[in-house]
Amino acid sequence: MTDDLAEVERIAGALLRSLSSGQRRNVMRRMARELAISQRQRITAQRQPDGTPFAARKPKSQPISGRGTACFMYPSGGSGEPRRVIMKSFTWATGRMMTGFDIEARAIRSFEFDKIVKWLPVPDEYRNASGGRLRRRGGLRRRAMFRKLASSKFLKTGTDDQGFWVGFSGKISQIASVHQGGLRDKPSLRAKSVSYPKRELLGATAADRNKLLDVMYEALVAI
């Protein structure tokens, strides 16, 4: 973002040198706040700085049919080879655990949700026509990407009498950098590394430049 705002920095430097340290800090704080608002609005709108939309998420598997019956592949204890499980009348236990009647084992069994290898369609003879739909947790609603990252909790600003910054810090900065540059990363500890599309979370536009100059001029006039 620094290169995009080089002209603003040049103009601001010339105009702000005559101000006191406290006055400069106040102006910088206002400029940082306006730029952060702009970044949040653009991320919420799912747009790159050039106006093009973010690359869409990869499509996820469809919800599993049959609220009263579920079918999936699950690692077996001995060989480790996954077996097909058809489970009726299941319920969610504490944490991410499913408990129900395992038809093949003919007994009540519990399965860890995160260990399920693959979801399968429920065979017709076991379908519960009156049942609802089971969905993967976190997939109940398709929300905008980076909704949390765009919040003030994670998108931070910093100022002093010499300048300001808008961005992420700590672990969140690492996550944002992967998307910002379209890098490779693991979606979870046990998952394989995958390539992410380039989605520029931070980036100044011509409108941002003009807005920052307006904020600076207004602040200077008010001093």
**Tokens 């709108």, residue located:** 45
- Is residue 73, in this structure, part of any structural domain at all? yes
Q: In this structure, is the dihedral angle defined by the CA atoms of residues 182, 47, 52 and 209, taken in order, positive or negative?
A: negative
- Is residue 74, in this structure, part of any structural domain at all? yes
Say if residue 29 is in the same domain as residue 75. Answer: no
- Mark out the alpha helices in 64-205 (DSSP H runs): 170-181
Say if residue 125 is in the same domain as residue 165. Answer: no
pTM (whole model) above 0.85: no
Say if residue 20 is in the same domain as residue 77. Answer: no
For the beta carbon of residue 168, count every other beta carbon within 10 angstroms: 18
- Is residue 1, in this structure, part of any structural domain at all? no
The residue ranges of DSSP E strands in 66-163, in sequence order, are 69-75, 82-92, 97-102, 107-112, 118-119, 133-134, 156-159
**Domain count for the chain:** 2
Q: Domain span at residue 177?
A: 6-57+142-222
pLDDT at residue 137 is higher than 50: no
Q: Tell me which of 76, 110, 134 is where a domain ends.
A: 134
Q: Tell me which of 134, 157, 188 is where a domain ends.
A: 134
- Mark out the alpha helices in the chain (DSSP H runs): 6-16, 21-44, 170-181, 206-222
What pLDDT band is residue 140 in, cutting at 50, 70 and 90? very low
Q: Tell me which of 111, 134, 157 is where a domain ends.
A: 134
pLDDT at residue 16 is higher than 70: yes
What pLDDT band is residue 110 in, cutting at 50, 70 and 90? confident
Say if residue 148 is in the same domain as residue 192. Answer: yes
Say if residue 198 is in the same domain as residue 150. Answer: yes
The pLDDT value recorded for residue 79 is 63
Say if residue 102 is in the same domain as residue 45. Answer: no
pLDDT at residue 141 is higher than 90: no
Q: Which of 75, 63, 61 is nearest to 111 (CA)?
A: 75
Antiparallel, parallel or unpaired: β 164-167 and 118-119 = unpaired
- Is residue 154, in this structure, part of any structural domain at all? yes
For the beta carbon of residue 59, count every other beta carbon within 10 angstroms: 6
The answer for residues whose C-beta is within 8 angstroms of residue 111's C-beta and 6 or more apart is 72, 74, 85, 87, 97, 98, 99
Antiparallel, parallel or unpaired: β 64-65 and 107-112 = unpaired
Say if residue 163 is in the same domain as residue 178. Answer: yes
The pLDDT value recorded for residue 199 is 96
Q: Which residue has the higher pLDDT, 136 or 79?
A: 79
